[in-house]
Amino acid sequence: MKLDLNLLRVLVAIHDSGSVTGAAKRLKMSQPAVSAALARLRDSLADPLFIRQAEGMAPTPRADALASKAKEVLDAIDHGILRAPEFDPSTSDEEFVFCLSAIGEIVFLPKLVRYIHERAPGARVRSVSLAPAQLEEGLRCGEVDLALGYFPDLQKAEFFQRRLFSHDLVCMVRAGHKIKGPRMTLNQFTSTEQAFVKDGNRTQEMFEAVLAEKGIKRNIVLQTSHYLSIPIVIAESDLVVVLPRTVANVFADSTQVRIVQPPMEIPRYDLKVYWHRRFSHDPKAKWLRDLAVEIFADGPD
């Protein structure tokens, strides 16, 4: 025998209130609707369930037994199955997985680790770098909690995004470089030997597109796949390198290099937090998104 859960709610409401009128008020239903539900229950169970008396509706033994079990079932559904899961960062021992580029690790990871350690001391952080198709699947299946940075390929409707802050590109030279002043000329930019970091980062692709559109060619004499060596190379040579400002600021604070504005206008680009719509209401994912917005919505500094 199968019973609609709503019929069980009617049974419990009549049992607790002792009347159809009381049950209707409790369930916010009309009296005729409650009476119709009671008729269906009686027909399905082949039992009168409630006998009308002067003091109200008296339950039959079958109604007493059913109401007791129905309360257990409904309580389990309302406070167990249907209850939204909770997330307490202070007691969490989960692993939080972020997709970050090499630049993204420099921009986001230090503060992420610090804030997460303060608020979720038992949690662990893992940073991964994935190709676009792998990132989509990672977000889709939940293996990656969030992507932070510049990921223009995540444009499908199933992925949600929120802007954190805008970024720009700058040039970096050694502290004693012959290029003086806050901005280099176009002639200096095209004639000075340059280093180029080719790590698959989409910001470099965007910059190359700007140069191609303007017909500007660079004299690249060093190409590397990593940012780690760049501040040391620049500090000990006359090369120029183009980097996101936040990364250049980090290098300028720790090595003998300085920031110079490029000669051309370069469009700013937005860094965002990305997630899959499946996890929009997941408590852990929402906590991580809110944390990212709290930390970075006004910029990385």
Q: Are residues 279 and 216 in the same domain?
A: no
Cα 107 from Cα 105, distance rounded (Å): 6
Domain end: 81, 102, 127, which one?
81
Q: Are residues 68 and 97 in the same domain?
A: no
Q: Are residues 53 and 134 in the same domain?
A: no
Q: Are residues 118 and 181 in the same domain?
A: no
Angle of helix 61-76 relative to helix 5-17, nearest 10 degrees, comes to 120
The per-residue pLDDT string of the chain (301 residues; one tens digit each, 9 = 90 and over) reads: 566 788 989 999 999 999 999 999 989 999 999 999 999 999 989 999 999 888 888 999 999 999 988 888 888 777 666 556 688 999 999 999 999 998 899 999 999 999 999 999 999 999 999 999 999 999 999 999 999 999 988 989 999 999 999 989 999 999 999 999 899 999 999 999 999 988 767 778 888 888 999 999 999 999 998 888 999 999 999 999 999 998 899 898 878 999 999 999 888 889 999 999 999 989 999 999 999 999 998 776 6
CATH number at residue 56: 1.10.10.10
Q: Are residues 194 and 54 in the same domain?
A: no
CATH number at residue 144: 3.40.190.10
Domain assignment of residue 301, yes or no: no
Q: Are residues 94 and 67 in the same domain?
A: no
pTM of the model: 0.70
On whether the CB atoms of residues 260 and 170 are closer than 8 A, the answer is: yes
Q: Are residues 244 and 120 in the same domain?
A: no
Q: Are residues 160 and 100 in the same domain?
A: yes
Phi, psi (5° rounding) for residue 52? -70, 125
Q: Are residues 128 and 162 in the same domain?
A: yes
The domain containing residue 246 runs over which residues?
Answer: 169-260
